[in-house]
Amino acid sequence: MTISVKKVKGTLLLDGNQQAIEKAAALLKAGGLVAFPTETVYGLGAIATNPAAVKKIFMAKGRPADNPLIVHISDLDQLNQVADEPSPEALMLARRFWPGPLSLVLKRSPVVVPEISAGLPTVAVRMPDHPLALSLIRAAGAPIAAPSANLAGRPSPTSYRHVLDDLRGRIDAVIIGQDCRIGVESTVLDLSGEQPVILRPGGLSREELEEALHCHIPVAGSKFSATKPSSPGMKYRHYAPRAPLILITGSPERRFSLLNSLAAFYRRQGLQVGVLKSAAGRGWARTDQPGRLAANLYRLMRIFDAGGADLILIEETVYTGIGLAVMNRLRKAAKRVLRT
Ligand code: TXA
Ligand code: MG
């Protein structure tokens, strides 16, 4: 049996072949922590029915214990294990959008250890659209609890290198995959109340969900909605780059020209200015291409941090499709929002 492995400060690097998946599953079954790629971001997994292993996730990330984790499943039978009688609506969405970037908040079954859900009566569940993630869940023979595989307060990892940067020596293994296709986290949809609510915009668009449910879906805590934030994760300060991030909003021409003048002004003062704008930006980081921007957003934040930017100027993008998730993350990270 050949598994190509390397150990970095106690963390195994496993390539994605079947033997490596078996090894990763064995580590999980022994109560270990394994990071793995998904289509959204890398996750940090533990067997969802092992409370001691689940607690280790919070320790490795430095995550507050009252911020619940998402349970990852590989087939619909597992949905019935972790959720208490999923509604027809939940089953319809699961059939239509799984595997995919949608996490459903449902009433939790007793199988789910309370640590995962931070004591809430609900559980967030999703089936990731990634062959390595699905093989790992199957090989482990159990649902896997996994938050994003970053240290709390850092951007979510979209490459295994980001996982190592944050967690080497703190977790048992990382499965090496390609960089994540979507690049922002899953959409978290709460189906446990009277009306569906998006708790976190993400990889699956609000428009697609509205079309499937034939109704308007509010986004919790946003200007689009009258509802209060109800996701525990929302009360925490989210990732913000070290340098102040200034978001520039308004009409496309005016915001583009303001961004250019500000960048020139601060550069003349000798400051290092990181810029994301709608035209003439780096090919993979233009704000007029929301899909590519989403795929590269967290990588760019890590680059700005590592490169020692003094200031970051970003032009607003659209609030539709994947743009809503991007704008949600940027608004949370922004120190100031300038309106032109
Ligand atoms: O794409 C993703 O969702 C990635 C990959 C690894 O699957 N995972 C991820 O997990 O982003 P995490 O832990 O970084 O974010 C989970 C979000 C948090 O905002 C948390 O508060 C919310 O989901 N959440 C989890 N369980 C919940 C529940 N029972 N009720 C309300 N919100 C919940
Ligand atoms: Mg996270």
* Cα 148 to ligand 2 centre (Å): 4
* Cα 153 to ligand 2 centre (Å): 9
* Ligand 1 atom nearest to 101, measured from its CA: 1
Taking only the tens of pLDDT, the chain with its 340 residues reads: 445 567 777 899 999 899 999 999 999 999 999 999 999 999 999 999 999 999 999 999 999 999 999 999 999 999 999 999 999 999 999 999 999 999 999 999 998 999 999 989 999 999 999 999 999 999 999 999 999 999 999 999 999 999 999 999 999 999 999 999 999 999 999 999 999 999 999 999 999 999 999 999 999 987 544 444 456 665 666 788 889 999 999 999 999 999 999 999 999 999 999 999 887 655 556 788 899 999 999 999 999 999 999 999 999 999 999 999 999 999 999 999 999 9
Spatial separation of the C-alpha atoms in residues 21 and 72, rounded to whole Å: 16
Q: Do domains 7-186 and 245-339 have the same CATH topology?
A: no
Q: Does ligand 1 lie within 6 Å of residue 231's CB atom?
A: yes
* Cα 22 to ligand 1 centre (Å): 26
* Ligand 1 atom nearest to 118, measured from its CA: 29
* Cα 157 to ligand 1 centre (Å): 14
Indicate the top mutation candidate among 132, 148, 198 to test ligand 1's pocket, ranked by most ligand atoms within 8 A of CB: 148
* Ligand 1 atom nearest to 120, measured from its CA: 29
Tell me yes or no: is domain 7-186 CATH 3.40.50.300: no
* Ligand 1 atom nearest to 185, measured from its CA: 1
Q: Whose CA is nearest to atom 12 of ligand 1?
A: 147
Task: Find how far residue 249's CA is from the centre of its chain.
Answer: 24
* First CA to last CA distance, the chain: 62
Residue 119's Cβ-count burial label (10 Å; 0-12, 13-18, 19+) is exposed
Residue 233's pLDDT is what?
60
Q: HSE, CB side, 13 Å, CA atoms: give it for residue 205.
A: 13
* Cα 235 to ligand 2 centre (Å): 13
**Fold exhibited by the domain 245-339:** Rossmann fold (3.40.50)
Sequence ranges of the domains in the chain: 7-186, 245-339
Total-model pTM: 0.94
Task: Give me the residues near ligand 2 (ion), CB cutoff below 5 Å.
Answer: 148
Check: CB of residue 331 under 8 Å from CB of residue 337.
yes
Which of the ligands is closest to the CA of residue 39?
Answer: 1
* Ligand 1 atom nearest to 182, measured from its CA: 1
Beta strands at 173-175 and 34-36: parallel, antiparallel or unpaired: parallel
* Cα 30 to ligand 1 centre (Å): 24
Q: Does ligand 1 lie within 6 Å of residue 233's CB atom?
A: yes
Residue 226's pLDDT is what?
42
Q: Does ligand 1 lie within 6 Å of residue 115's CB atom?
A: no
Q: Whose CA is nearest to atom 6 of ligand 1?
A: 43
Which of the ligands is closest to the CA of residue 126?
Answer: 1
